[in-house]
């Protein structure tokens, strides 16, 4: 698999990181009293431990240039010391807090079955299959969106960045703007993070490692879609 084929295979995976139910979370369809199910499962599957997942990539990576980018990412996620001022997992909790939810629930989230399988697969691929797989799973899949092509191709559509006042949680659920601190932080750092992620994977993953990386991304995507199906059902959504 040459570099161009590898890049395209990864982009195709990311362009399928779209779930049928997501529109219902962005147009007010999901009942307010069920939103906590989405936030809790998202927090438990990866948000709470995202700095740890980045750390797993860092400790396995033999390439100093990549480690430096990972170190910067890890520092910001764990401390907010470069941009946000607070750890990103803490900022995530401002969403449910701003919606009047009991954030004490987030101290002991119980993952639903598909969410548990998804998280177990994340742990497996970040800890036991080498730095290349871990790096792609964490920095491209978890941090990325279905608009990754726009990060690499100036002619491709970019990730939408609507005004904060038009954020669905503000428009449909009354979230105060000040509770969007994580959204604001992501908008400031994601450009650099996306560039670093693609540079690390495309420039440093060897041809021999590429098939395993693509296979891992496909497996993670399948688990993610099943997990999102489960959350949608819990929120009362039917396809």
CA 234/CA 159 separation, integer angstroms: 28
pLDDT of residue 212: 98
pLDDT tens string 73-113: 999 999 988 887 899 999 999 999 999 999 999 999 999 99
pTM across the whole model: 0.94
| pLDDT reported for residue 15 | 98
**Residue 183 CB coordination number (10 Å):** 18
Helix intervals (H) in the chain: 3-15, 22-26, 35-42, 50-60, 64-79, 88-92, 94-98, 113-127, 130-135, 149-152, 168-173, 181-204, 210-234
Predicted local distance difference test score (pLDDT) of residue 169: 96
Q: What is the pLDDT of residue 51?
A: 97
* Cβ–Cβ < 8 Å for 44, 111: yes
Q: Which two tokens stand for residue 97?
A: 């807090």
Q: What is the pLDDT of residue 191?
A: 62
Pick the CATH number of 3-234 from 3.30.530.20, 1.20.910.10, 1.10.10.10, 3.40.50.720: 1.20.910.10
Spans of the chain below 70 pLDDT: 191
Which residue do the tokens 């979370």 mark? 25
19 exposure class (CB count in 10 Å sphere: 0-12, 13-18, 19+) = middle
Residue 206 to residues 9, 55, 115, 203, Cα–Cα distance (Å): 15, 21, 31, 8
Distances (CA, A) of 33 to 29, 98, 131, 195: 11, 14, 40, 38
């Amino acid at each position: 698999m040459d570099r161009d084929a590898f890049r395209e295979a990864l982009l195709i995976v990311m362009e399928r990181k779209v779930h049928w139910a997501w529109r219902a979370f962005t147009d007010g369809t999901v009942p307010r009293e069920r939103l906590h199910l989405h936030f809790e499962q998202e927090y438990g599957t990866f948000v709470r431990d995202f700095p740890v997942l980045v750390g797993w990539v860092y400790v396995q990576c033999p390439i100093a240039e990549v480690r430096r980018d990972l170190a910067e990412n890890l520092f910001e996620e764990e401390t907010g010391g470069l941009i946000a001022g607070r750890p990103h997992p803490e900022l995530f909790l401002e969403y449910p807090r701003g919606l009047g939810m009991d954030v004490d629930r987030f101290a002991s989230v119980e993952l639903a079955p598909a969410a548990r399988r998804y998280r177990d697969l994340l742990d497996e691929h970040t800890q036991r299959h080498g730095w290349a797989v871990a790096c792609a799973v964490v920095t491209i899949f978890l941090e990325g969106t279905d608009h990754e092509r726009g990060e690499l191709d100036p002619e491709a559509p970019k990730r939408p960045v609507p005004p904060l006042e038009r954020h669905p949680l503000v428009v449909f659920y009354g979230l105060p703007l000040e509770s969007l601190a994580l959204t604001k932080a992501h908008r400031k750092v994601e450009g650099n993070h996306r560039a670093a992620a693609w540079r690390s994977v495309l420039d440093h993953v060897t041809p021999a490692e590429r098939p395993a990386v693509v296979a891992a991304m496909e497996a993670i995507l399948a688990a993610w879609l099943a997990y999102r199906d489960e959350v949608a059902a819990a929120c009362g959504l039917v396809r």
